[in-house]
Amino acid sequence: MNKSAPRKRPADYNHYRIFKVPNPVVCSYLPAPPRFRARLATRYLIMKPPPFNNTIDFPRPKLNFSPKWLILAPLGVFLLIGLFSSYYTVSPEAEAVVQRFGKFQFIAKPGLHFKLPYGIDTATIVPVRRQLKLEFGFTTSGSTNPDQASEAPELERDMVTGDLNAAQVEWIVQYSISSPQDYLFQVRRPGSTLRDLTEGVMCEVIGDRTVDEVLTIGRTEIETEALIRLKVLLEKLNMGVTAEQIQLKNVHPPAPVQRSFDEVNRAQQEREQMINEANGEYNKVIPRAKGLADQRISGAEGFAVQRVNEAEGDVARFKELLVQYDKAPAITKQRLYLETMNEVLPKLGSKIIIDEDAKQFLPLMNLK
């Protein structure tokens, strides 16, 4: 056989592969026919993995602190937490409701008090000597009461009146907590419940009235009736809350009809102003006319009485004179003449007495 001729490779030569890598040579192959396995084993050296020990030693780290601090530090933190959670302070305007594992124990008065730490006892501060406030339809910044305002006040002020008109109503409720135990345990969320009750009562009262009553003349009546209904509900639920006052703030129609309503309201005010002015003029003129009429009537009546009395007196005097005239006619006639002249002559002023036969008496007038 010619050695220079190329060797003929078997048909299944591609069934295996040999990868040569320097130092060491690692052979990996696919399954090959049995007749090639012995040749591969004798021709190439298959390296085994290097031996290694069963245990590996790592160097021990050096700690900069003593291991006992791993116990003392958590213990110290635990004691500090217990110290700061073992007392509480109640302000003069509040009382504290103390619970042990969630169960009511007692009510603590103002001052410094101690309790079991680590959450065993919990103290809830309730401001029972302070007047609280709820706002509906608007918000005020800087409030300390978390239930004072809602997250969407613009939705609270929109209401429908009894005549199916829309109105925007803003109001406040002033209340106080009368029983802290009932306030915390009778209902789950007392602040939200009180807001819902107040809003429901106000919607009911507004729905029983017309828009004119809500916007103008019915504000005081709405406040009074809403407060009465709210007090009845609070007593029925035993919430430990006392409603003290409900006050309407801004009451106006919706923005799209605000201008029209202002014009109507202005016309009504002008009408009321003119009516009031007319009533004032009436009250000023009519009493004066009545007084003048009464005065004239009284004067006429007095004059009538006077004339009647004078006539009766003249009649009585004439009768007396008649009796005297019947007795002595000449003397009575002379006396009447003298008395009459005595009354008339003083009223004439200056007098000039001349002889009946005198002539050219006009120059005597210059003596006046």
Paired residues of 218 in beta bridges: none
Q: How many domains does the chain have?
A: 2
Residue 28: band (very low, low, confident or very high) from pLDDT cuts 50, 70, 90: very low
Q: Which residues of 3-31 are buried (b: 16+ CB within 10 A; e: fewer)?
A: eeeeeeeeeeeeebeeeeeeeeeebeeee
pLDDT at 9: 53
Does residue 321 belong to any structural domain of this protein?
A: no
CB 108 within 8 A of CB 123: yes
Instruction: Establish if 211 belongs to a structural domain.
Output: yes
pLDDT band at residue 42 using 50, 70 and 90 as cut-offs: low
- Does residue 64 sit within a domain? no
Residues 71, 60: contact at Cβ < 8 Å?
no
Residues 176 and 215 in one domain: yes
- Whether residue 350 is contained in a domain is answered as no
Question: Which residue among 223, 253, 283 closes a domain?
Answer: 253
Residue for token pair 């430990």:
240
Q: Residue 1 falls within a domain, yes or no?
A: no
Least confidently predicted of 40-54, 221-235, 250-264: 40-54
Of 204, 234, 253, the domain-final residue = 253
**Of the residues 253, 276, 306, the one at which a domain ends:** 253
Q: Which of 115, 97, 99 is nearest to 107 (CA)?
A: 97
* 101 and 166 housed in the same domain: no
Of 364, 337, 363, the residue nearest 350 (C-alpha): 364
Pick 154 or 171 by higher pLDDT.
171
Residue 119: pLDDT band by 50, 70, 90 thresholds? confident
Please tell me the predicted confidence (pLDDT) of residue 5: 52
Query: Is residue 308's pLDDT more than 70?
Result: yes
Same domain, 140 and 234: yes
Comparing CA positions, the residue from 3, 15, 40 lying closest to residue 25 is: 40
How far apart are alpha carbons 37 and 309 in whole angstroms?
Answer: 174
Asked if pLDDT for residue 320 goes beyond 70, the answer is yes
CA 334 from chain centre, in angstroms, equals 101
Q: What is the average pLDDT score of the chain?
A: 81
Q: How confident is the model at residue 24 (pLDDT cuts 50, 70, 90)?
A: very low
The two structure tokens encoding residue 304: 């009538």
Is the confidence at residue 136, as pLDDT, over 90? yes
Domain span including residue 124: 86-129
Phi/psi of residue 86, nearest 5 degrees: -105, 0
159 and 118 housed in the same domain: no
9 vs 162, residue with greater confidence: 162
Whether residues 171 and 96 share a domain: the answer is no
- Supply the pLDDT for residue 325: 82
